[in-house]
């Protein structure tokens, strides 16, 4: 959103909350993630960023890669193990 010029802020305390989700809710979240990826991909096709935008874009790429790697690792765990660690 910030690459489109929108102001972005976060609710950092909520970022540590691990909500329970149904399979349908997880599916919707994955669909939303895919949609955001497609939007970003379309945006950057003909995008000529200034220095600040390029820095933001690269920082967020690294940040998202970290989280996606963590998610892949968590997917290998037994769901019962995850529930007991909350």
Over residues 22-77, the pLDDT tens digits come to 889 988 988 998 898 898 888 888 888 889 888 888 888 898 889 888 888 877 87
| Token duo for residue 36 | 């955001």
Q: Which of 66, 80, 81, 72 is nearest to 30 (CA)?
A: 72
Q: Is the pLDDT of residue 86 over 60?
A: no
Give the CA count within 13 Å in the CB-facing half-sphere of 72.
Answer: 6
Place of tokens 């540590």: 16
Torsion of CA 41, 46, 48, 54, to 10 degrees: 10
pTM of the model: 0.52
């Amino acid at each position: 959103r910030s690459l489109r010029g929108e102001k972005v802020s976060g609710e950092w305390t909520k970022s540590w909350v691990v909500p329970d989700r149904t399979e349908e809710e997880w599916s919707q979240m994955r669909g939303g993630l895919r949609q955001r990826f497609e939007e970003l991909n379309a945006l950057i096709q003909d995008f000529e960023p200034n220095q600040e935008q390029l820095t933001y874009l690269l920082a967020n790429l690294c940040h998202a890669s970290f989280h996606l790697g963590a998610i892949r690792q968590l997917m290998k765990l037994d769901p019962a193990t995850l529930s007991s660690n909350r």
